[in-house]
Amino acid sequence: MKKIIGILVFVLIVLFLVLGFNQEKLNNQKIGVIAPLSGFLADYGEEIKKGVLDVLPEGVSVVIEDDQCEPAKAVSAFKKLSEIDKVSIIIGPGCGSPQEAIAPLMKDKDIVSILSSAASSNLYETSGGKMFNVQYSLEDESKFIAEKISESGYKKVLLIQYQNAFSKTHSESFKRNFNGEIVEANYFSETEDALSVLTKFKNQVFDAIFVTDVTFFFNQGVERLKQLGMNYPVYSQYAVELPTVIPLVGDVYYSFPDNLSREGEVVRELTRQSVDLAMKALDKCGENTVCIKDYLDNSGEFLSGVSTRGFVLKRIENGKIVSF
């Protein structure tokens, strides 16, 4: 029995390897991608990958590396792309920790990166001006939400936050920019049922709720709010428009990047725009990264590496995007 299983496994491996080595890899222009293609954020990485493959012109090849959202694996992926594959432009990394780990390495490398996700605003500086972001910064996004909530005349907000870098950056910026009273609801685990923390606040009265992380919606947050009679307007950020999240959010107001054509495909659309920019830069500059950096700096798309695009406030009502 052991022998049979062994032979079966061996045959499978050989088959996979033979299939793999037969792939054609002889194109001239090449870009790299670093995204979480396995692990708990694989869905998000898949959206990035699909966005790249959607608009990649013929004759251009792509090397996609998986970082599982881990800094050390992202560094491996980055070193391979820069040293072995010798790409001049990378799309990604998609996650915050890998972005922080790679940014300082970019200073001394002939390589430029375009991020397609909202990220921290300091990356351009840390990377020596080589990490660009087609999305606005997380800090600015929260500032925008804080302003919108204030404009609606709301004075007391329940701030729902999780223990991850994305959520934390949002919360910190929101706290700096909102003038009214903030009550913080902290979830310590991403698998925690939304009810566990919300129950503590059911007897308090709020004007609005700001949800910093879509994990809340995955954990039945909307149903739990209804269950506790907490029928306040809910605000959140752009990630609620991910295809897997929309059906879970009920009614929500959310910030969204301006100038995106296709609804319900936010990550994919931002990635498409990143690839378009990368291709324009490659067409103009070839592999010359100084020229690529200059091109991106002067493209009018970025200010200190961060997209100059504006924000809009959108709304999802009963699981459907409505104009607002």
Partner 1 sequence: MEYLIHIAIIFAIYGGLAVSLNLIVGYTGLLSVTHAAFYGIGAYATAIMLTAYDFGFFASIIGGVLISSIIALLIGFVMSRFKEDYYALVSFGFNIIVYSIFLNWQEVTRGPLGIPGINRPSLFGFDFSESWSFLLLSLVFGLILYGISAFIVNSSFGRVLKAIREDEKALSVFGYNVNVFKLAIFVISAAMAAVCGSLFASYITFIDPSTFGLNESIFILAIIILGGLANLRGSVLGALALILLPEILRFVGFPTDIAAQMRQVVYGLLLILLMLYRPQGLLGEYKL
**Residues at the site binding partner 1, with contacts judged by CB under 8 A:** 2, 5-6, 9-10, 12-13, 16-17, 19-23, 25, 37-38, 42, 45, 49, 53, 62, 64-66, 69-72, 75-77, 79-80, 82-84, 97, 100-101, 103-104, 126, 163-165, 167-169, 188
| DSSP labels, 20-54 | HHTS----SEEEEEEE--SSTTHHHHHHHHHHHHH
Nearest approach in angstroms of CB 62 to partner 1 is: 6
State which residue, 7 or 322, has the beta carbon closest to partner 1.
7
Spatial CA neighbour of 235 closest among 135, 221, 261: 221
State which residue, 58 or 151, has the beta carbon closest to partner 1.
58
Report the C-alpha gap between 251 and 320 in whole angstroms: 9
Nearest approach in angstroms of CB 106 to partner 1 is: 12
Report the C-alpha gap between 315 and 252 in whole angstroms: 6
Structure token digits, residue 64: 């996609």
Report the C-alpha gap between 272 and 57 in whole angstroms: 11
221: Cα separation from own chain's centroid: 21
State which residue, 165 or 313, has the beta carbon closest to partner 1.
165
Radius of gyration of the chain (CA): 22
Nearest approach in angstroms of CB 286 to partner 1 is: 23
Nearest approach in angstroms of CB 260 to partner 1 is: 23
Report the C-alpha gap between 86 and 70 in whole angstroms: 22
Nearest approach in angstroms of CB 75 to partner 1 is: 6
State which residue, 72 or 322, has the beta carbon closest to partner 1.
72
State which residue, 45 or 305, has the beta carbon closest to partner 1.
45
